[in-house]
Amino acid sequence: MAALTLVSGSVGLITLQNPPVNALSSAVRQGIVDTVQRAVSDPQVKSVVICGQNGVFCGGADIKEFGKTMLGPPLVPMIHTIEAADKPVVAAIEGSALGGGLELALGCHYRITHSKARLGLPEVTLGLLPAAGGSQRLPRLIGVPAALDLITTGRHVTAAEALKLGIVDQVTDQSTVEAAVKFALSVEVQSLTSRRISTLPCPCPADVDALFEGVMQRVRQRGRGAIAPVACVQAVQAAATLPYAQGMEREQELMATLFTSGQARALQYCFFSQRAVSRWSLPSGARWDSTKPNPVTKVAVIGLGTMGRGITVALVQAGLSVVAVETHEQQMMAAQRAVSGMLERLAQRQGVPLALDRVRFSTELEAVADVQIVIEAVFEDMALKKQLFKQLSSLCPAETLLFSNTSSLDIDHLAAQTDHPQQVVGMHFFAPAHIMKLLEVVYGPRSAPQAVATAMELGKRMGKVSVAVGNCRGFVGNRMLMHYLEEALFLLEEGSSPESIDQALKEFGFPMGVFQMSDLSGLDVGWKVRKAQGLVEPGQMSRVRQGRRYSPLGDLLCEQGRFGQKTGQGWYLYDPAGSRTPRPDPWLQRFLEQYRARQGLVSRRIDSEEVLERCLYALINEGFHILHEGIAAGPEDIDMIYVFGYGWPRHRGGPMFYASQVGLARVLQRLEHYHQLHPDVPHLQPSSLLRQLVSSGSPPIQRWKEAIRKPHSAL
Ligand SMILES: CCCCCCCC/C=C\C=C\CC(=O)SCCNC(=O)CCNC(=O)[C@H](O)C(C)(C)COP(=O)(O)OP(=O)(O)OC[C@H]1O[C@@H](n2cnc3c(N)ncnc32)[C@H](O)[C@@H]1OP(=O)(O)O
């Protein structure tokens, strides 16, 4: 909807009305077409101002309408009519002008912006390009290099940057609508010839071909198989080389290939899923909208290793006071230097004042007595953590929340050490904790809803995508990852190599393959976990342990001191130790050949299809178990964990969305096939939920929840 009112005697004020972000739904587009026509034909109206209701100009096309039959007037002619009007049209931008919203503003003759507004063309992040003339108008307005940057990254710019780039004409700290009306009155009699962006030539640098070549190479590398960034470059290239009308034809042609693509569907699913995971619920029925988080101003972090340091920085960045505790004097000194350095670099990069005074370092555990939350981040050792939780329980007041940063340990065991188990929640951060977006918030059967709400809110304040999950071994992310890693080892035993497995996974879109990832995080991490599970038998080669197939390859490498990047050798060679560039290791190749010979294994050629199917379907199958058990509330939760924590390519939507795109029947059939070949691998046996979904006709992912039981904790 849009409303037209006459203000200041001669200004037609059009207000977009579609809360919360005034998205351009079919009703809004119809409203704009009608009000613009009325304003243009009304002799009393000498100029027009377009603004949005409730302090937001426009969040772009209505993403919920994508994939459905498009009704209502299309955007391109609508914006063209505005640009062609013979009365000045001014956009009054508050809040956001994004995507179609900015394209609408680019069709106006002037743009007045509030200093706190954000502008951008984020279509690429939804698998699209700015196809309401944005890819043709923006380069004409601000030049090819700046337009390429904004359109291929989708980044939002501040009002100040928009002014500097020439996207907007004026920035105000006062009422934007008032400023825009005043401005409109002042330009009522001015010529509009130079204000219609589509009629302007596109300013190009001299070396424009080289520029496009370089940008295309970068977006291909960065995009890891994403098609939208490539189309964005092609559209801007059309703006630079073709007249406007032909450029528009090219824009529409490119958009047509993107609009119905699986990648666009995946990216739009991610957009909504990212928002959906914040609406958590617990098995008790407690929910995000009925539980108030505790007010938090002061948090303690205990244990200042890599994780503790990152968590401290993330908390300070979120504006909280932090008590950072490390009981070992030397470790404390090193941590203090590291945290200060990280904060200094961040302050420099972000141009904000250094916030070092918000951290107090201490070697005394007693220093945590007056905080609202304690985040324990000591070494991943159950005995150590249990002892600490016991101490904290007697040190802290009853209302203090006790959170554990653990990647796999049982939260209920830790809660049982305290007098107030309802105050205990897991917070699984991902390294580096001040950078990685994901936070798994792990609740146990006794965790209070308020404790969960506070953890989720704290995650939000730190800028994280927080996902509430039930308690089980490895929670959601690592529990699924275990089977992915294990399949990769089995493939090595059967004849593959780290290089070819990693290559297949990188071509799928992961930033790195499974063996590179293992080298980066350290082979000793998994070794320690397997030892704790009683799976490691030093020097032993047996391939069946605890009644199922087992690969001792990782253990054998660890026994040789090959822990990955940090020791210079793991699945690859790193020269010098600590370098990040993996090189194939001839030693490993010989080692694998000898291993296969001793095990009586006949090496075979394994293609990338088998690599992907076995690694990914094993992981996905575990995802179905997790859904069935209620550990994750829905497929969106699993998918966001994988996209934000494990490098799953966003344009493939996450593992569960990927399964829905491949087709559940196909995933089931391939798992059955591989399980028949490897009956000693239980994780290849298809989950009953997957079977159930297939037999009920493979419903779309949005309807899987109907087939899933209520959430509960598995431990
Ligand atoms: C065959 C060829 C066919 C060709 C047809 C071509 C037709 C298309 C032509 C042009 C296309 C233009 C493309 C676009 O414009 S795509 C949209 C681009 N816009 C965006 O990406 C902006 C997305 N939104 C945001 O970034 C934020 O929401 C923001 C506006 C910054 C506000 O942030 P915040 O205040 O944090 O609020 P939330 O993100 O939580 O959002 C609040 C609720 O609003 C919903 N929302 C937001 N934006 C949209 C949108 N564009 N469409 C629909 N819904 C939107 C969001 O989901 C939240 O909903 P809920 O509360 O239910 O979770």
H/E stretch holding 169: none
Q: Identify which has the larger pLDDT, 407 or 298.
A: 298
Q: Which of 94, 103, 440, 629 is catalytic?
A: 103
Nearest CA to ligand 1 atom 3: 256
Query: Has residue 341 been placed in a domain?
Result: yes
- Whether residues 184 and 79 fall in one domain: yes
Query: Has residue 683 been placed in a domain?
Result: no
Question: Does 251 participate in catalysis according to the annotation?
Answer: no
Q: Which of 83, 123, 376, 622 is catalytic?
A: 123
Q: Within a 10 A sphere around the Cβ of 345, how many other Cβ atoms?
A: 11
Q: Side chain identity at 213, as an amino acid letter?
A: E
CA distance between the termini of the chain? 51
* Residue 417: domain span: 298-476
Query: Has residue 614 been placed in a domain?
Result: no
Per-residue pLDDT reduced to its tens digit, 184-240: 999 999 999 999 999 999 999 999 999 999 999 999 999 999 999 999 999 999 999
> What single-letter DSSP state applies at residue 24?
B
- Whether residues 53 and 199 fall in one domain: yes
Distance CA 177, CA 112 (A): 8
Q: Tell whether the model's pLDDT for residue 352 goes beyond 90.
A: no
- Whether residues 471 and 508 fall in one domain: no
Indicate the pairing of strand 47-52 with strand 89-93: parallel
Q: Cα–Cα distances in Å, from 301 out to 313, 315, 323, 358? A: 10, 9, 6, 13
- Whether residues 452 and 511 fall in one domain: no
Q: For the ranges 218-222, 259-263, 316-320, 380-384, which has the lowest average pLDDT? A: 380-384
Q: Spell out where 430-577 has E strands.
A: 438-443, 465-470, 544-545, 548-549
Mean pLDDT calculated for residue range 381-401: 96
Q: Cα–Cα distances in Å, from 17 out to 48, 181, 585? A: 17, 19, 62
Per-residue pLDDT reduced to its tens digit, 467-526: 999 999 999 999 999 999 999 999 999 999 999 999 999 999 999 999 999 999 999 989
Q: Residue with structure tokens 């900015």?
A: 102
Per-residue pLDDT reduced to its tens digit, 518-573: 999 999 989 988 998 899 998 888 999 999 999 999 999 999 999 999 999 999 99
- Whether residues 64 and 177 fall in one domain: yes
Q: Tell whether the model's pLDDT for residue 27 goes beyond 60.
A: yes
Supply the pLDDT for residue 465.
Answer: 98
Query: Which of 599, 628, 661 marks a domain boundary?
Result: 599
Ligand 1 binding pocket, CB closer than 6 Å: 20-21, 23, 59-64, 75, 96, 98-100, 122-123, 126, 128, 131-132, 255-256, 259, 272, 275
Distance CA 209, CA 691 (A): 53
Nearest CA to ligand 1 atom 12: 100
Mean pLDDT calculated for residue range 147-161: 98
- Helix, strand, or coil (residue 120): strand
Distance CA 121, CA 477 (A): 32
Distance of CA 511 to the CA centre of its chain: 14
Q: Which two tokens stand for residue 14?
A: 């059009």
**Partners of 361 in beta bridges:** 324
Nearest CA to ligand 1 atom 48: 59
Query: Has residue 506 been placed in a domain?
Result: yes
Q: Which two tokens stand for residue 571?
A: 């699945």
Please state the three-class secondary structure of 86-117 as a single string: CCCEEEEECCEEECHHHHHHHHCCEEEEECCC
Task: Give yes or no for a contact between 578 and 585, defined as CB atoms under 8 angstroms apart.
Answer: no
* Residue of 18, 21, 102 with the most ligand 1 atoms within 8 Å of its CB, for mutation: 21
- Whether residues 551 and 465 fall in one domain: no
Q: Tell whether the model's pLDDT for residue 640 goes beyond 80.
A: yes
Ligand 1 center to residue 574 CA distance, Å? 44
Ligand 1 center to residue 663 CA distance, Å? 28
Distance CA 310, CA 432 (A): 6
Supply the pLDDT for residue 354.
Answer: 86
Ligand 1 atom having least distance to the Cα of 272:
57
Mean pLDDT calculated for residue range 581-592: 96
Ligand 1 atom having least distance to the Cα of 100:
15
Nearest CA to ligand 1 atom 39: 275
- Whether residues 465 and 503 fall in one domain: no
Number of domains in the chain: 3
Question: Does 103 participate in catalysis according to the annotation?
Answer: yes
Query: Which of 576, 599, 622 marks a domain boundary?
Result: 599
Query: Has residue 427 been placed in a domain?
Result: yes
Ligand 1 atom having least distance to the Cα of 276:
63
Ligand 1 atom having least distance to the Cα of 74:
7
Query: Has residue 293 been placed in a domain?
Result: no
Supply the pLDDT for residue 351.
Answer: 87
Q: Within a 10 A sphere around the Cβ of 295, how many other Cβ atoms?
A: 8
Nearest CA to ligand 1 atom 18: 99
Distance CA 427, CA 346 (A): 24
Supply the pLDDT for residue 651.
Answer: 98
Torsions phi, psi of 545, nearest 5? -135, 140
- Whether residues 24 and 158 fall in one domain: yes
Query: Has residue 687 been placed in a domain?
Result: no
> What single-letter DSSP state applies at residue 604?
-
Ligand 1 center to residue 123 CA distance, Å? 9
- Whether residues 324 and 178 fall in one domain: no
Ligand 1 center to residue 122 CA distance, Å? 9
Q: Tell whether the model's pLDDT for residue 18 goes beyond 70.
A: yes
Torsions phi, psi of 648, nearest 5? -60, 130
Task: Give yes or no for a contact between 324 and 312, defined as CB atoms under 8 angstroms apart.
Answer: yes
Task: Give yes or no for a contact between 349 and 368, defined as CB atoms under 8 angstroms apart.
Answer: no
Ligand 1 center to residue 135 CA distance, Å? 18
- Whether residues 248 and 396 fall in one domain: no
Task: Give yes or no for a contact between 508 and 619, defined as CB atoms under 8 angstroms apart.
Answer: no
CA angle, 524 then 529 then 532, to 5°: 125
Query: Has residue 218 been placed in a domain?
Result: yes
- Whether residues 66 and 197 fall in one domain: yes
Q: What CATH number should be reported for the domain holding residue 337? A: 3.40.50.720
Ligand 1 atom having least distance to the Cα of 271:
57
Task: Give yes or no for a contact between 675 and 685, defined as CB atoms under 8 angstroms apart.
Answer: yes
Assign 711 a pLDDT band (cuts: 50, 70, 90). Answer: very low
Indicate the pairing of strand 118-120 with strand 110-114: unpaired
φ/ψ bin of 547: left (φ > 0), alpha (ψ from -120 to 50), beta (otherwise): left
Compute the mean pLDDT over every residue in the chain, rounded to the nearest whole number: 96
Q: How many Cα atoms within 13 Å fall on the side-chain side of residue 478?
A: 19
Query: Which of 259, 290, 323 marks a domain boundary?
Result: 259
Q: Which of 28, 2, 24 is nearest to 13 (CA)?
A: 2
Q: Which two tokens stand for residue 626?
A: 């997790």
Ligand 1 center to residue 287 CA distance, Å? 25
Q: Tell whether the model's pLDDT for residue 709 goes beyond 80.
A: no
Q: Residue with structure tokens 């020791």?
A: 567
Indicate the pairing of strand 170-172 with strand 110-114: parallel
Q: Tell whether the model's pLDDT for residue 24 goes beyond 90.
A: yes
Q: What CATH number should be reported for the domain holding residue 81? A: 3.90.226.10
Q: Side chain identity at 163, as an amino acid letter?
A: L
Q: What CATH number should be reported for the domain holding residue 522? A: 1.10.1040.10
- Give DSSP secondary structure letters for 566-619: GGTBSSSB-SSTT----B--HHHHHHHHHHHHHHTPPP----HHHHHHHHHHHH
Mean pLDDT calculated for residue range 584-607: 97
- Whether residues 304 and 417 fall in one domain: yes
Cβ neighbours of residue 443 closer than 8 Å, sequence gap 6 or more: 282, 411, 425, 426, 451, 452, 468, 469, 470, 471, 713
